[in-house]
Amino acid sequence: VLAIGAPFGLAETVTQGIISAKGRNNVGIAGIEDFLQTDAAINPGNSGGPLVNLHGELIGINTAIATSGLTRGYMGIGFAIPTEMIKQVLPDLREGREIVRGYLGVKIIGLDQEPGLAKTFGLEEDRGVGIDRVRPDSPAAKAGLKVDDVVLAIGNTKIESATQLMTMVSQTKPGNTLDLVVWRDGKKITVPVKIEAQPEDFYATSNWGEGGRRQEGSTNAETAEME
């Protein structure tokens, strides 16, 4: 693959590499992550530039790098948003419409990230997504989802990770219904959930985000004025 951009202000720079991995998540860059990983050199100034294959076809948009606290430069690991995600929002962007994300209203944990946790639910595989909290008056609450439910599939699509569930929900248009296959009390049940639009204060008030976001119900948050 080739990464094109203006690293450190050097316009029309091209670097080459391979796709090191696909479907990278839990990187800590965004709430929804499904990155291509590449070792094509990406530096400050590459973000927003294209990642193309050897046919000149756009396969991703260069986004970020993994680095240490000692340097801001390339260390062999870069990330690009895949074109599949871009295509989903491009029509709305072209028309100047607001990007609306689907919303379920739960705090979740991927069983693939916690080896052995699945057995506590009576499951044999470390697969699926456990529900750790249900937000009041959310689509999940209205549908009857409960804490300790494990989402195994949406329709016929198996759920392997928390990121996959988040991505599928966020890409569902509000008003549409998802049939969640849920493991509860040792058996599978199907729970239809009518997806709603993600609240405007989702990241400000939710308590399932990490990275310093305010905890829901917190009263000791500090404020500061900024020019």
CA distance 131 to 121: 12
CA distance 188 to 143: 16
What distance, in Å, lies between the first and last C-alpha atoms of the chain?
42
Per-residue pLDDT of the chain (227 residues; tens, 9 = 90+): 999 999 999 999 999 999 999 988 777 777 677 899 999 999 988 999 999 999 999 999 999 888 776 666 788 899 999 998 888 888 889 999 988 889 999 999 999 888 888 899 999 888 899 999 999 999 999 999 999 999 999 999 999 888 889 888 988 989 999 999 999 999 999 999 999 998 877 765 554 444 333 344 444 556 666 66
CA distance 106 to 174: 16
Write out 8-39 in H/E/C secondary structure.
HHCCCEEEECCEEEEEECCCCCCCCCCEEEEC
